[in-house]
Copies of this chain bind each other. A is one copy, B any other.
């Protein structure tokens, strides 16, 4: 859109919306127009919700989760099994596991994976606090639920080294065929792993 069509406020809104994942320049324009045409129902409330989130969001000092309180809702939940700690790369993984109701346990969010190429070493990740939590005691099992990527696995092995000497069980997510997935579309590594871990009907 030419700079001169609408006011600079709208232009700036479009530019910022285009930085959201899933919105390109064209859909950002559509979203901006959708907003300015629905000021009372949407633009105003969304501006308010963003200001409020901006005001209240913080990183949990215990686990690295993102929430509007610290300790976060999960860390503060007395109904959680705190003897099991699920280690994830990102808050989005925590949300995904929670949606799946995978395990009623506690979490630890690393905030990324080791990546020498991108200059991300152990100090850039939330690892020291993980070791600290384990040292504080009460944890029986750590599920390393990082992504099945090269960096994820490198990070998993680094964590196992760091946690050596503690009397805890360290586990990882099973490899296998996704529920509802078609064999035809799966890569050979997944299929081999699923076959190796085959279970009795």
Q: Chain A interface (Cβ within 8 Å of chain B)?
A: 1-2, 4-10, 12-13, 16-17, 19-23, 27, 29-37, 39, 42-47, 49-54, 56-57, 65-69, 72-74, 77, 91-92, 94-95, 98-99, 101, 184
Contact = CB atoms under 8 A, between A and B. Distances in A.
Give the number of times this chain occurs in the complex, counting copies: 2
B50 A46 contact: yes
Contact of A35 (B50, B92, B95): B50
Contacts of A27: 21-22
Contacts of A57: 7, 9-10, 36, 39, 43
A5 B47 contact: no
A22 B12 contact: no
Contacts of A92: 29-30, 33
A54 B44 contact: yes
Given A1-B99, A12-B49, A35-B20, A6 B54 contact: no
Interface centre among A44, A49, A65, A69 (most CB of B within 10 A): A49
A47 to B, nearest CB: 4
Contact of A50 (B33, B50, B91): B50
